[in-house]
Amino acid sequence: MNFFFDSALQDCDEPTGSPDFVEVRDFCFYYGAHKVLHNVFLQLAQRQITALIGPSGCGKSTLLRSINRLNDVIKGTRHEGDILIDRQSVFDARVDVLSLRRRVGMVFQQSNPFPKSVYENVVYPLRVAGRKKKSELDNVAERSLRAAALWDEVKDRLHANAYQLSVGQMQRLCIARAIANSPEIILLDEPCAALDPVSTGKIEELLLELKKDYTLVLVTHNLQQAARVSDRTAFFNQGRLVEAASTQRIFMAPQDPLTQDYVSGRFG
Amino acid sequence: MFKPPRGFFRRLSAAAQGEPWVWLCAAGLIMSLVLVIGLFVLIASRALPAFWPQPVALLELRESGALAGRIVQKYEKQTDGVRETYFKVYVGNKAVHGKNFVHVNERELLRVSYPEDMLYIDSLDGGDIFGQPQSLTLQGGLRVPVDDPRFEDFFAQLVTDTAVRRIDILEVELGQLGELNRHLEQNARRLRVLAKNEIQNAAEIGEISAAQKKLQTRHEVYARKSKELHERQDHFTLGYRVASGQSLVMPMEKIDHYYYPNRLGFFEKADVFMQNIWRFLSEAPRQANMGGGVFPAIFGTLVMTVLMSAAVAPLGVLVAVYLHEYARPGLFSRLARAGIYNLAGVPSIVFGVIGLCFFVHLAGGTLDQLFFADALPTPTFGTGGILWASLTLALMTLPVVVVATEQALHAVPRSVREASMACGASQWQSLRRVVLPAAVPGMLTGLILAMARGAGEVAPLMLVGVVKLAPSLPVDAVAPFVHLERKFMHLGYHMYDLGAQSPDIDAALPLLFACILTLVLLVGALNFLAVWMRARMRKKYAVKPF
């Protein structure tokens, strides 16, 4: 069976950039004494969408938040192993965590715009990076909002409070904010969990568009979504990476029986 | 057909539904409301009638002549087993009666009438006067009797004229003469300092002495002008008859305002009522705080509350931000927090003592030695004043602001902080650009509570600068305009003074209630302002959870 599909499964999108742009090497993570990630090895290809799937509490979000070191702010956490972006360890003592986070944008499950205007939300990453030139900020705001497919909807109310947008628009605003500072990687932590199907569809289209320029990592509970948009999929269970392969292989011909059970809906 | 099972329609018992508890809670709320409304009604009902012009009665007695005054109260008293009715009459005319109230037995009363020509005068030094006018004396001894048709016009004109001249005199005495006196004093001080120097600077001493001479000449000119104005004032007098038949003369300049209470219609009374309220709010007190208004006290309360807020808000926010955002949780931060929270439980008079020792004596004394040494031994900052009072209250209300700010910071959702972090913002940038703005409404809540507590506090102020009667306001037109070292008046202390220190509590009581009403409304207005600001901030900065 597997053998039969193998040749067909080979022709998924070949990565256009480095196949191991982000590399997770023997990575373990602890909340206090509780070990939530066990020796994960994973490679994320440049300009592709990699979906991280698995049941709740399997550690996929923890891995995501380790890539931009957002877990640093949580007290009592520590890690073993390493994560490299473009062959450079993110945990290196010489790495400035603030500039790392400028290279790695992030979108959260709950859309969390700031209590500011639409415009100020988008240019926030530039403002905190010390950029002040009005023309530059204006350009970035327009470019990011266009890239997030939001420009036409908000161009007349750039200075209105962001909370006046709909929930779906707010999530696209968060995506615009995440790409404002031209990061290399975008981390998406269940970006559609709180959205209706129409908004979800828009965001998925957007992700396929963004793939041309950015490396995307998508944590999702929605298996169809992973199947629709991602190039590669990694399945996690109880803090361990069970299987990582091209998305077609994971959904059509998983190697591991656990993966088989999960993608066919027998548990999770 | 649907056949319900047994017990399908049975309801839970009232007790199980918590009915009694709901009623208990509602009763608690109603009781609180009744207390609050009752308090307001009590205060307003005691305060406002004092401003309404009451008719003045002429009481003719069987044996001892007559009395004029407002009948305040009718009451019964048992004497030797016989019930007798008495009238309590506010007679004013302290110079004649020596007391404000007279109690009259109904049996002694021959007749009560309300003569149309009964005159009420609020005099500047003798308080309330009731009498019937007889004549005006003009310049050169010219007399205008009361039946002259021009009497009323003359009377009104003279009162206005003398009032204008009174202001002129004040301007000369406090303005020009006051400034000259200040210069003279300054020069004298400089001369004293120069005289102490080892090397005598003859040129400088000569210069200053010459300036002193010039100033003294100008001083004499203004002193003469003031004397002339005073003499002109003395020409004009009003002759009037009090109820006992005695004829008296009142200098025109002593009249603050007058009206004929028994002639007024409803709208005229309402007019007088509004004027009385305005006088109460805008004038300075007279006659040992028993007359006039409470403007300096309102102003002092306001300035003190604003200064206190300006001091406590930044300090409290800084403390809370460090404790909540930066301090590592541990023994130190727990102790620091407990210490600040416990300040809230310290009796306020203790803060007065702390303010006296630390602010007035230590800080003020040091300031005096450093910057105002030439004025010593007269203290400048080394005595109670509005700055020290405000700082003392700021210290007292610090925990309120700290607690509220910490709660506000705590309420900013983690998702927003993380969003900011993920954008590459440092902790300080996140704090300044996102977290603090979102916490501003909560901080304002703390400030509102602090103001409400601070504005009504009296005990600590008595030690650090509040006075019964302040000669000048803490903010005025004399450079440098804000005088933080000055003593000040405060509505709360004014109330204490009226209630506990006044020579005649019966006469002071309406004034006392008016003060209470003013203070309550003032604190209410300040709070309203802060609540309005908070609502605006909320609209702008509040983080909504999704």
- Which among A128, A163, A194 is the nearest to B425, CB-wise? A128
Note the pLDDT tens digit of each residue in A69-110.
Answer: 988 888 888 889 889 888 888 888 888 888 888 889 899 888
Tell me the C-alpha distance between A145 and A169, whole Å.
Answer: 11
Q: What residues of chain A, 128 to 147, have a C-beta less than 8 Å from chain B?
A: 128-129
Using a CB-CB cut-off of 8 Å, the residues of chain A touching B437 are 115
Q: How confident is the model at residue A5 (pLDDT cuts 50, 70, 90)?
A: very low
Same domain, yes or no: B240 and B181: yes
Q: Which domain does B40 fall in, by range?
A: 19-45
Are B419 and A194 within 8 A, CB to CB? no
pLDDT at B146: 82
B198, part of any domain: yes
Domain boundary among B5, B29, B45: B45
* Closest chain B CA to residue A180: B423
Domain boundaries, chain A: 17-110+176-263
Same domain, yes or no: B464 and B430: yes
Close Cβ partners of B191 (under 8 Å, ≥ 6 residues apart): B205, B208, B209, B212
Residue of B421, B423, B426, B435 to mutate, testing the A interface (most A Cβ within 10 Å of its Cβ): B423
B529, part of any domain: yes
Of all helices (H) and strands (E), which one includes residue B271? helix B266-282
Same domain, yes or no: B261 and B313: no
Using a CB-CB cut-off of 8 Å, the residues of chain B touching A99 are 424
Distance from CA of B436 to the nearest CA of A (A): 11
Close Cβ partners of B46 (under 8 Å, ≥ 6 residues apart): B509, B510, B513
Using a CB-CB cut-off of 8 Å, the residues of chain B touching A127 are 433
Same domain, yes or no: B480 and B533: yes
Same domain, yes or no: B514 and B382: yes
B118, part of any domain: no
Using a CB-CB cut-off of 8 Å, the residues of chain A touching B536 are none
Look up residue A215 and give its two tokens: 């490396």
Phi, psi of A106 (to 5 degrees): -145, 140
Tell me the C-alpha distance between B37 and A176, whole Å.
Answer: 54
Same domain, yes or no: B488 and B346: yes
- Per-residue pLDDT 10s for chain B (546 aa) are 778 888 788 777 777 778 888 999 999 999 999 999 999 999 999 888 888 888 898 888 888 788 888 888 888 888 788 888 888 888 888 777 778 888 888 888 888 888 888 889 888 877 888 888 888 888 777 888 888 888 888 888 888 888 888 888 888 887 788 888 888 888 888 777 777 776 767 777 788 888 888 888 888 888 888 888 888 888 888 888 888 888 888 888 888 888 888 888 899 999 999 999 998 898 888 877 777 788 989 999 988 999 999 999 999 999 999 998 888 888 988 999 899 888 888 898 999 999 999 888 888 878 877 887 776 677 777 777 888 999 999 999 999 999 999 999 998 888 888 889 888 888 899 999 889 988 888 888 888 888 888 888 888 988 888 888 777 777 777 667 777 778 888 888 888 888 888 777 777 888 889 999 998 898 888 888 888 888 888 877 766 654
B98, part of any domain: no
- Which among B413, B422, B544 is the nearest to A70, CB-wise? B422
Task: Quote the DSSP letter at residue B53.
Answer: P
Does A102 reach chain B within 8 Å, measured CB to CB?
Answer: yes
Are A105 and B438 within 8 A, CB to CB? no
pLDDT at B479: 67
Distance from CA of B457 to the nearest CA of A (A): 37
Does the predicted model carry a pTM greater than 0.95?
no
Would the pLDDT of A11 be above 50? no
- Which among A68, A111, A127 is the nearest to B422, CB-wise? A68
Same domain, yes or no: B274 and B408: no
Are A185 and A217 contacting, i.e. CB atoms less than 8 angstroms apart? yes
Using a CB-CB cut-off of 8 Å, the residues of chain B touching A167 are 546
Fold of A17-110+176-263: Rossmann fold (3.40.50)
Distance from CA of B187 to the nearest CA of A (A): 56
When pLDDT is averaged across residues A240-244 and rounded to a whole number, the result is: 89
Phi, psi of B122 (to 5 degrees): -95, 105
Same domain, yes or no: B202 and B334: no
Tell me the C-alpha distance between A224 and A205, whole Å.
Answer: 14
Are A114 and B416 within 8 A, CB to CB? yes
B122, part of any domain: no
pLDDT at A7: 42
Q: What 3-state class would DSSP assign to B293?
A: coil
Q: How many domains does chain B have?
A: 3
Q: How confident is the model at residue A9 (pLDDT cuts 50, 70, 90)?
A: very low
Same domain, yes or no: B153 and B276: yes
Same domain, yes or no: B282 and B305: no
Are B415 and A73 within 8 A, CB to CB? no
**Positive or negative CA dihedral for A172, A178, A184, A189?**
negative
Closest listed residue to residue A119, CA positions, set A151, A147, A166: A151
pLDDT at B405: 93
pLDDT at B25: 94
Are B418 and A170 within 8 A, CB to CB? no
More confident residue, B202 or A227: A227
Does A185 reach chain B within 8 Å, measured CB to CB?
Answer: no
Same domain, yes or no: B373 and B405: yes
Q: How confident is the model at residue A2 (pLDDT cuts 50, 70, 90)?
A: very low
pLDDT at A13: 56
Task: Quote the DSSP letter at residue B382.
Answer: S
Same domain, yes or no: B493 and B415: yes
- Which among B413, B424, B545 is the nearest to A98, CB-wise? B424
Q: What 3-state class would DSSP assign to B131?
A: strand
